[in-house]
Amino acid sequence: MNEGYVECLVKGRPNYLAKIGKVLLIALAALFFIGSMWLGTWAMILAVLTGTGAYIVSMFTDVEYEYLYLDKEVTVDKVYNKSRRKRVATFKLDKMEVFAPVHSYQLEKFGAKQAKPTDYSIGYEDKPDLRYIMYYEGNKQILFSPNEAMVKAMKNASPRKVFTD
């Protein structure tokens, strides 16, 4: 297997508020559609609008993150509803300060930094917690949930900055 290329796909935290909104919009669309027999065209217009709203909300409820490691560069893509993809960020390993597990002692000296946190992980603490934190360019704190192959490839490329303890 080529160590210079690793792909990892993780499911993001479910957005329960969006799922509740989607169900509510579908129910309203059905009620307006049924009510259009008695209420006329305004109810049909409302049924179409709420149905369209339910479709738009459903496109953003199922989010996955795809990490791609290629030649000392980590690219993060956001995949919506298993069909649409959006490039979110690209990180170069030579600009990275540290990459370590969330509860690692290696992150203690970075704890006092005022870094802006960004979450590209599964979104919750699992048992055992397999999330990693990357401090990038001194002002960014990025949370990942990579697989072992990606961590190994990053460690081979930058052994003094990547920790697995």
- Per the structure, how many domains does the chain have? 1
The answer to the question of residue 6 being in a domain is: no
Q: What is the pLDDT of residues 21-32, one digit of tens each?
A: 999 999 999 999
CA–CA separation, 165 and 162 (whole Å): 10
Name the percent of the chain lying above pLDDT 70.
Answer: 98
* Structural domain includes residue 76: no
13 secondary structure, DSSP code: P
| Domain contains 165 | no
Task: For residue range 59-100, list pLDDT tens digits in order.
Answer: 888 889 999 999 889 999 999 888 889 999 999 999 999 999
Long-range contacts of 21-29 (CB under 8 A, 24+ apart): 21/57, 22/54, 22/57, 22/58, 22/61, 25/50, 25/51, 25/53, 25/54, 25/57, 26/50, 26/51, 26/54, 29/54
Residue 45 lies in domain: 16-59
Number of C-alpha atoms within 13 angstroms, CB side, residue 119?
10
Q: Is residue 5 in a domain?
A: no
Instruction: Tell me whether residue 24 is in a domain.
Output: yes
Asked whether residue 86 is assigned to any structural domain, the reply reads: no
pTM over 0.95: no
